Structure 1
């Protein structure tokens, strides 16, 4: 590495520190469980920012409404070891023929933008024609947050948790492939055999997600390994067989599984927190409340528990200027019920109320710690239009769109419960929350959305002053 390159890297780092101190830098983290719409959200967010000074559809963002946002552009990211978010690929999918949802990301990805704006403050305007805010958007799987509670568990405690889960007949039936393994805790460690059983255990986790609609999947890296796919530290299983009767020494099967569990916690779970999570300034969590309602009460209860785990994971605290220099902390948390355009508009208040009920405990702790939180329903990219249907001489609100199979749809999906559903609600079954393709969009125009501008006002409004 040349001296010139080294000096340039140090200059970039120093500039980054100065920008943090002057409140000119925001590291915004975006997460959510599988199929919550993270990739579409980030793609739409970047698209709206790039169009903000030309044809923005952002009336609820004060800086845009008053013409103070001069523009935004993508700039090289500072963290060269993190993959770049595939924005162009996402746009190609959304603008395709037919339009399609972007492919989900499988690990951490990042994109950086430079926002130029006119300050509201007279003194700042006299010092410079415009001000600059650097926005780093980081995408990471919500499943990885579900692993953070593992740091407080021993291998024995985690194994007991999984053993309790297997008391549910549906889970135990799907787990038959790896539960039928015949081995003893004192058996000598066999690399190939452990890798094979870990593979069937991972397949079980995927089936729990795909067939049962479950979200609370641990270890999260088993289903979304990122760059560690195939690594030995992802090849272990909980011990759900007969408990060891004596201490299992080095070289035994049980000791090796326990060691790999501890290695996983220290190098992947703790490593993710130290390298990424602890450096976020603001956080948005996307929640698809509709798919678990379709899947049934067990899927919904599992999603509720997973959300509770995610809310426990955040490190709260006001991000004042000296903490920003040395130890950034999340000071704003936005919780979003995604895919709001998959229900009719009069159902949006109930959708927000349902989300508020699901995260009530975590929000209470956040307020106690001094963090500002907000819940809202939005659609980062519109997939439906609001219309009307008729049945038996009666007119009812309906959604018009195209199903994932290409067939046109006109339907009223049903009413969203304002609180976690009761047994009576599940028995009625008068709902059908369909999935839609994105609406066709014209290239070189900002994409249609629902309340993405309200999200930007909450997350960045206080920075563009």
Structure 2
């Protein structure tokens, strides 16, 4: 009984401290998202490592607080949300500093790490309280695929099923969907079929395999339900065991224990507990947001993959709650007030392609940025590499010199190549006819754990996201 009361008092104390920090503008909750393989885990690992070493051997000249020597240091401290898994920072470092180095294992759900940053303030009001100030920074990692589910809140089971049915008119999708289209007896599913738990679990497994195939074989990103491919702690839960109804619709009202009615209920449970629950528990509490976008892999995969990525980014843009984050809203209803879009893996193209890469990203998020600006939100687009995996160089072919990048493939082979020219805007149909883009995956450069990691413009991202908070 006494221990229970102590835990409750401790939780209330933490909430009170967070509330005071919000009013004083000393607490920032920064969310990091992006679709699979966009580099979220590497970004957070690199960001924490740079902050921990910033006062020792920082490589952050574009961040005013670091360049001016006002950043005194940063350290990890216990997070205030014990229900959220801790970001696997040490494990990520172990992979990056291994021999040979490797990329950190991707996180598959929400994860968090808290940092305490100390700095010399130059703000006239804060200086009355002392020259040294503190900012508590919560970094929250979550899959962008989960944002793609938010539009489901506006749909019922019939409407969502109709959307999927229309998608399956595409031959490539129809071919991948064949394994879950028929029952184990080789017949179409009937809406009045009695519900069977084991049968539906196996059907959901085949549907999940179909979604993975859409991602891995076709390079698609707009996958719904997103939790099916990234279930997190809900792996195997009945809420994740349903499929869209793409067969003959029911006639009249289906029985409560019928297959159709049960799948419809599970769809509604999924929306209520996972989609809306995620928004209420996490998303609505973010102060600032960074969205990582891998523009290169879809260029490599072709027009259909790129168009799907473009549509996915548009869906993600619809999800953000915009609004000025003044002290009153910070305390009672936090809202995102800065939004940074990043074209990740900038080191996988030659330096002169960084400009077109940023321009392409700007075109991808143009409509959403316009809405954000209308609401008074500051936005920016950058091309960066949180951890450099290549070095810029020159190559020779046919007696002619060309710009190139050099590094090591994931298989350990040395590479020297020019990946191609990045289009500065959304590619036209004609562009796909004549262009070949050779995007290669590189493993990280060999690095010393005692030095800050090499990067491209990570300091520019820090200046945009944190610069005004370390004044």
Shift of 1:88: 0.3
Structure 1 residues 435, 250: closer, same or farther in 2, change over 3 A?
A: same
Shift of 1:9: 2.6
Q: Distance in 1 between matches of 2:19 and 2:364?
A: 37
Structure 1 residues 38, 154: closer, same or farther in 2, change over 3 A?
A: same
1:274 aligned residue (275, 280, 283)? 280
Q: Deviations over 1:359-402 (max 9, x none)?
A: 11111111111111100100000000000011222211110100
- Report the 3-state secondary structure (helix = DSSP H, G, I; strand = E; otherwise coil) of the residue aligned with 2:22: helix
Q: How does 1:42-53 map to 2 (within 5 A)?
A: 42-53=44-55
Shift of 1:191: 1.1
1:346 aligned residue (337, 352, 359)? 352
2:161 aligned residue (137, 159, 162)? 159
Aligned to 1:383: 389
Aligned to 2:363: 357
Shift of 1:5: 3.9
Shift of 1:443: 1.3
Q: Distance in 2 between matches of 1:22 and 1:105?
A: 32
Q: Is the 8 A contact 2:30 2:289 kept in 1?
A: yes
2:33 aligned residue (17, 31, 34)? 31
Q: Distance in 2 between matches of 1:243 and 1:43?
A: 49
Aligned to 1:142: 144
Q: Is the 8 A contact 2:119 2:132 kept in 1?
A: yes
Aligned to 1:89: 91
- Report the 3-state secondary structure (helix = DSSP H, G, I; strand = E; otherwise coil) of the residue aligned with 1:241: coil
Q: Distance in 1 between matches of 2:5 and 2:266?
A: 41
Aligned to 1:218: 224
**What's the TM-score once normalised by structure 2's chain length?**
0.97
Q: Deviations over 1:214-258 (max 9, x none)?
A: 000000000000000000010000000011122112111111011
Shift of 1:186: 1.1
- Report the 3-state secondary structure (helix = DSSP H, G, I; strand = E; otherwise coil) of the residue aligned with 2:190: coil
Deviates further, 246-255 or 65-74: 246-255
1:419 equivalenced with 2:425 (yes/no): yes
1:251 aligned residue (254, 257, 272)? 257
Shift of 1:4: 3.9
Q: Distance in 2 between matches of 1:184 and 1:288?
A: 41
**What's the TM-score once normalised by structure 1's chain length?**
0.99
Q: Distance in 1 between matches of 2:439 and 2:7?
A: 54
Structure 1 residues 371, 123: closer, same or farther in 2, change over 3 A?
A: closer
Paired residues in the alignment total 465
Shift of 1:126: 4.2
Q: Distance in 1 between matches of 2:178 and 2:10?
A: 56
Q: Deviations over 1:124-149 (max 9, x none)?
A: 33421300000000000000000000
Q: Deviations over 1:243-282 (max 9, x none)?
A: 1122112111111011000010000000000000000000
- Report the 3-state secondary structure (helix = DSSP H, G, I; strand = E; otherwise coil) of the residue aligned with 1:462: helix
Q: Distance in 2 between matches of 1:276 and 1:443?
A: 33
- Report the 3-state secondary structure (helix = DSSP H, G, I; strand = E; otherwise coil) of the residue aligned with 1:463: helix
1:429 equivalenced with 2:435 (yes/no): yes
Q: Distance in 1 between matches of 2:246 and 2:460?
A: 48
Q: How does 1:192-271 map to 2 (within 5 A)?
A: 192-271=198-277
2:77 aligned residue (75, 78, 90)? 75
1:114 aligned residue (102, 116, 126)? 116
Shift of 1:123: 4.6
Q: Distance in 1 between matches of 2:255 and 2:182?
A: 24
2:379 aligned residue (363, 373, 389)? 373
Deviates further, 120-129 or 419-428: 120-129
Gaps of 5+ in 2: none
Aligned to 2:409: 403
Q: Distance in 2 between matches of 1:306 and 1:372?
A: 22
Aligned to 2:455: 449
Q: Distance in 1 between matches of 2:422 and 2:327?
A: 42
Q: Distance in 2 between matches of 1:177 and 1:126?
A: 69
Shift of 1:306: 0.4
Q: Distance in 1 between matches of 2:173 and 2:7?
A: 54
Q: Distance in 1 between matches of 2:375 and 2:103?
A: 37
Q: Deviations over 1:89-140 (max 9, x none)?
A: 0001010100000000000000000000001124533421300000000000
CA RMSD of aligned residues (A): 1.0
1:306 equivalenced with 2:312 (yes/no): yes
Q: Is the 8 A contact 2:284 2:334 kept in 1?
A: yes
Q: Is the 8 A contact 2:182 2:189 kept in 1?
A: no
Q: Distance in 2 between matches of 1:306 and 1:198?
A: 23
2:182 aligned residue (180, 183, 186)? 180
Structure 1 residues 129, 393: closer, same or farther in 2, change over 3 A?
A: same
- Report the 3-state secondary structure (helix = DSSP H, G, I; strand = E; otherwise coil) of the residue aligned with 1:31: strand
Deviates further, 48-57 or 189-198: 189-198
Gaps of 5+ in 1: none
